[in-house]
Structure 1
Amino acid sequence: MYDISKERELLDYLQKNGLIEGKDYTVRYFNNGVSATVAMIENDKKSIIAKQALAKLNVAADWACDQSRMLVEQKALTTYSKIIKEYVPAPIFYDEENYIMVREAAPRSSSMWKEQLLKGVLDFSVAEKAAQALSAIHNRTAGDQQVAEEFKEIKFFYDLRIEPYIETVVKVHPQLKEHADRIVDRLMNQKIALVHGDYSPKNILVDQDRLYVLDLEVSHYGNPAFDLAFFTNHFVLKAVKNSRWYNAYLTMLDFIAQSYLKAIEFADAKKFEHEAVQILAYHMLARIDGKSPAEYITDSLDKDIVRAVAFKIIEQDSSCYDDVMSELAAVLRKSKRY
């Protein structure tokens, strides 16, 4: 099997498959990948991304996953290209034997939205487009039997999200098991729309007025409330990390949630919001006590704040984002974080 983490091997592979010509290419590896080796290969005429799934993820915990999940990403990127072409890089090539996908690269001028947010740069036009892209995917694939059949496999979703996130949280907080089991049952068994599974600012690149949605390897046909909860969790965590700007983060969180909820056509918005908020509580706990903790939530008080709010959401059966924001603001005030 080819190993694209070795530059010479990567370039030879691309040459043999007719993906590049000549030798005047530079290779830049991205070191922030948890689940794959990712490299940009470019010269003055061409810029592509090569991505190969890892058998063991780059986290402290023992976390393995079948490398054939890369085919899921290739298929999902193709589907996204049909629905929201302006928001994704174009797929180019897939090698099933070596678990290698090649796609168009976003411009070098692009930046990770997560980095902008952590610096306190909150662009609501980016937030609006991100919410629009997500609602468009969910609306257009809801009830689509062809898409449902193509993405019926949920093994990777279980391996990469349910077990390391929710089930690991329950091992730390066993009192949540009964409630968590109901959440897991719905996430694993409800078939509503195409779910991204990793929709976050880390996986959205921004280049002027264009977005690039990336990393679709956890895509499956399931419950889209997972995506809204996963996405909005990142604004909760950043409000805790940079509590001096908490009000701005929560304003953006509310803007995203309401923009998305107003756009959906496949579910009752209030019921859907209730479900998303309950799932959100587990995402919050997972980034503290799961297998993939948020690298920027390191302070013990910050962790306690996240846990306190998550438990309140579950205990009070919070049904809307207003409840989440009010509780988070109250806990931050009590902790004198701002």
Structure 2
Amino acid sequence: MATELDKRCRALVAELGLGMPGDVEEVVPLTGGVASDIAMLRVGERQICAKFALPKLKVSADWFAPVHRNAAEYAWLKVAADVSPESAVQLFGRSETQHGFAMEYLAGDDVYLWKTALLDEVPDQGEAARVADTVGRIHAVSARSRFDRAPFQNSDDFHALRIDPYLKYTAGLHPGLAQQIGALADMLYDNRQVLVHGDVSPKNILFRAGRPILLDAECASMGDASFDPSFCLNHLVLKAAHLPGSRGRLLEDVGVFWKSYEPHVGWEPAGDLEARICRLVPALMLARVDGKSPVEYLREPVKAKIRQTAIDLLKNPSDHLDHFSSRLAKEFKDI
């Protein structure tokens, strides 16, 4: 009996002119995300990836988001293809009625997921610098006056997907930090500097032939430039706490990331942006321990150390990422 996902995939293929519903020979659900249904479709000789936004995310806490965010994600992927074609996925079209789109299915011997490489402690291949360069290039283009911002006026969606579940929910659990976290939440909601991806996480970044391909831009919105670097750096920090054998390299990658991203910053003084990142990363550290979407791989003693360290960094922030990393190295040395 055909599943609802199977039916949607066949309808999407037909609507986008990729084939007839009966041409879909196989629909394989894919795991890894909480905000969408994703599947690999076999259509004749081709493999296609289909993605549909969900109204309720697949997490234990109640977390709802508008399904029209799928349009912003597709628009972000188109911008990325224009700005950095060597780091882009091929797009096959989007359905407004189904809130879904189709793109190439990425697979092959030269394709790997950055999160898997990090957790398996595969030797560094310069991933942090390449991701930072790609993000920086997109931010720089989107900061120009002629950039079309119309598809990305999604502050309320960004609030529902990021500010509320990561910052406001966490602040409610830590009332002593409500002022610091609240100021960060307001900053992210009020600013419209650059096109923010919103989920620059290693789980959403595939490398193909050494180039990063960023996926899952469901939170795409004009926003504060600090968010994307902070979101990515937070994952490096969490894995540094989790993996003693890779700790030094991962904390060093914090500086590597910034060094690759900083040359693209032309919309404001780079030092101002760096200081905001130093304040936002600890809030995100705390959110991935106590927020609506906690990281799944951390042991309880590691969570406790991250929580303690994040609270200290929020109360006594650094202004420079090299100092920030040094403090983390000192705090994490005994876990």
Partner of 2:102 in structure 1? Answer: 102
State the Cα distance separating 1:31 from its structure 2 match.
1.5
In terms of mean alpha carbon deviation, does 310-319 or 15-24 score higher? Answer: 15-24
Partner of 1:160 in structure 2? Answer: 161
In terms of mean alpha carbon deviation, does 279-288 or 86-95 score higher? Answer: 86-95
After TM superposition, the score normalised by the length of structure 2 is 0.93
Partner of 1:226 in structure 2? Answer: 227
State the Cα distance separating 1:58 from its structure 2 match.
0.6
For the pair 1:296 / 2:294, whether they are aligned, the reply is no
Partner of 2:319 in structure 1? Answer: 319
Partner of 2:186 in structure 1? Answer: 185
For the pair 1:83 / 2:83, whether they are aligned, the reply is yes
Take 2:285 and 2:132, find their aligned partners in 1: how far apart are those partners? Answer: 20
State the Cα distance separating 1:11 from its structure 2 match.
2.7
Give per-residue Cα distances to partners, 1:69-90, cap 9 Å, x unaligned. Answer: 1111111111221111211212
State the Cα distance separating 1:243 from its structure 2 match.
1.8
Partner of 1:200 in structure 2? Answer: 201
Q: How does 1:212-291 map to 2 (within 5 A)?
A: 212-291=213-292
Q: How does 1:119-130 map to 2 (within 5 A)?
A: 119-130=120-131
RMSD of aligned alpha carbons: 1.9
After TM superposition, the score normalised by the length of structure 1 is 0.92
State the Cα distance separating 1:249 from its structure 2 match.
1.1
Partner of 2:29 in structure 1? Answer: 29
Partner of 2:38 in structure 1? Answer: 38
The 1:265–1:28 alpha-carbon spacing in structure 2 relative to 1, beyond 3 Å, is same
Take 1:176 and 1:46, find their aligned partners in 2: how far apart are those partners? Answer: 51
Are the counterparts in 2 of residues 148 and 191 from structure 1 also a CA contact under 8 Å? no
Take 1:130 and 1:50, find their aligned partners in 2: how far apart are those partners? Answer: 24
Are the counterparts in 2 of residues 277 and 319 from structure 1 also a CA contact under 8 Å? yes
Take 2:208 and 2:165, find their aligned partners in 1: how far apart are those partners? Answer: 32
Matching residue's letter, 2:98: N
Runs (5+) with no aligned partner, structure 1: none
Are the counterparts in 2 of residues 106 and 212 from structure 1 also a CA contact under 8 Å? no
Take 2:280 and 2:168, find their aligned partners in 1: how far apart are those partners? Answer: 13
In terms of mean alpha carbon deviation, does 90-99 or 160-169 score higher? Answer: 90-99
Matching residue's letter, 2:319: S
Give the aligned length: 332
In terms of mean alpha carbon deviation, does 315-324 or 53-62 score higher? Answer: 315-324
Are the counterparts in 1 of residues 49 and 103 from structure 2 also a CA contact under 8 Å? yes
State the Cα distance separating 1:253 from its structure 2 match.
2.1
Are the counterparts in 1 of residues 16 and 93 from structure 2 also a CA contact under 8 Å? no
Matching residue's letter, 1:78: K
Residue aligned with 1:308, SS: helix
Residue aligned with 1:330, SS: helix
Take 1:162 and 1:214, find their aligned partners in 2: how far apart are those partners? Answer: 20
The 1:214–1:234 alpha-carbon spacing in structure 2 relative to 1, beyond 3 Å, is same
In terms of mean alpha carbon deviation, does 229-238 or 83-92 score higher? Answer: 83-92
Take 1:199 and 1:122, find their aligned partners in 2: how far apart are those partners? Answer: 21
State the Cα distance separating 1:112 from its structure 2 match.
1.2
State the Cα distance separating 1:199 from its structure 2 match.
0.8
The 1:248–1:44 alpha-carbon spacing in structure 2 relative to 1, beyond 3 Å, is farther
In terms of mean alpha carbon deviation, does 324-333 or 127-136 score higher? Answer: 324-333
Partner of 2:52 in structure 1? Answer: 52
Take 2:3 and 2:13, find their aligned partners in 1: how far apart are those partners? Answer: 10
Runs (5+) with no aligned partner, structure 2: none
Take 1:16 and 1:208, find their aligned partners in 2: how far apart are those partners? Answer: 32
Residue aligned with 2:149, SS: helix
Residue aligned with 2:140, SS: helix
Take 1:198 and 1:24, find their aligned partners in 2: how far apart are those partners? Answer: 30
Partner of 2:14 in structure 1? Answer: 15
Residue aligned with 1:6, SS: helix
The 1:4–1:211 alpha-carbon spacing in structure 2 relative to 1, beyond 3 Å, is farther
Matching residue's letter, 1:142: A
State the Cα distance separating 1:273 from its structure 2 match.
0.5
Take 1:37 and 1:248, find their aligned partners in 2: how far apart are those partners? Answer: 34
Are the counterparts in 2 of residues 128 and 256 from structure 1 also a CA contact under 8 Å? yes
Are the counterparts in 1 of residues 188 and 224 from structure 2 also a CA contact under 8 Å? yes
Partner of 1:170 in structure 2? Answer: 171
State the Cα distance separating 1:192 from its structure 2 match.
0.8
Matching residue's letter, 1:10: C
Matching residue's letter, 1:250: L
Are the counterparts in 1 of residues 171 and 182 from structure 2 also a CA contact under 8 Å? no
Are the counterparts in 2 of residues 124 and 252 from structure 1 also a CA contact under 8 Å? no
Residue aligned with 2:94, SS: strand
The 1:127–1:173 alpha-carbon spacing in structure 2 relative to 1, beyond 3 Å, is same
